[in-house]
Chains A and B, each alone.
Chain A
Amino acid sequence: QKEVEQDPGPLSVPEGAIVSLNCTYSNSAFQYFMWYRQYSRKGPELLMYTYSSGNKEDGRFTAQVDKSSKYISLFIRDSQPSDSATYLCASFFISNFGNEKLTFGTGTRLTIIP
């Protein structure tokens, strides 16, 4: 079982719709949860990260973490064609003993249809 699981899609939604992207993780030690956006032929770009449980909002994007169910979500409101990309979730922890681990999901390909 992968430590971070993500539905690869593809996912197509009409412009203006609310998009929900989800990941699950298995390692309860993870502390930070990130979402990256990757356009075709480009490197991943950090959208936002959250620490521990809760919500974080940045414009049309909201990241949500539920540590009790080990569930990570990204919501995109008023989706635009420019949001068409692959979205990667990732989880990270660093311990007091100097151990760290960063694990990525495989990515969900999203297309916003004008």
Chain B
Amino acid sequence: EAQVTQNPRYLITVTGKKLTVTCSQNMNHEYMSWYRQDPGLGLRQIYYSMNVEVTDKGDVPEGYKVSRKEKRNFPLILESPSPNQTSLYFCASSIDRGAVYEQYFGPGTRLTVT
């Protein structure tokens, strides 16, 4: 089954404790991205990757890092989480950057930073 998976689905952590949210897709997609979803603000892109070892900032990259060492995986790293990073996070993928209108989203990771 074609899908985007994320882990963990729920995470509660404390300020400053480094964490990683994993994302994996099995569709051989080149383009992957991370979004956060907040009430009243909608989905905002954090980082994206057009291919292995090619990443770039989205609209709200501050406080986040990413890496793309393999085509299927695109982890999101919060090196020193803060309460304002409490949010619902989604990973997404598409065939390539020209097909971003046809993205597949993961199930989401709800992060709470206390």
Contacts and interface: CB of A to CB of B under 8 A. Distances in A.
A17 interface: no
Interface of B: 4, 40-45, 90, 92, 97-98, 100-108
Given A43-B105, A43-B107, A46-B103, A94 B98 contact: yes
A61 interface: no
Contacts of A6: 42
3 A-B pairs with least C-beta separation: A43-B105, A32-B101, A106-B42
The majority secondary structure among interface residues of chain A is strand
Nearest to A34: B101
A8 B40 contact: yes
B100 A94 contact: yes
A88 B42 CA distance: 9
Contacts of A94: 97-98, 100
Nearest to B106: A43
A45 interface: yes
A11 B44 CA distance: 23
16 contacts: A8-B40, A36-B105, A43-B92, A43-B105, A44-B43, A44-B90, A45-B105, A46-B102, A88-B42, A88-B43, A94-B100, A100-B97, A104-B43, A105-B42, A106-B40, A106-B42
A92 interface: yes
A42 B102 contact: no
A102 interface: yes
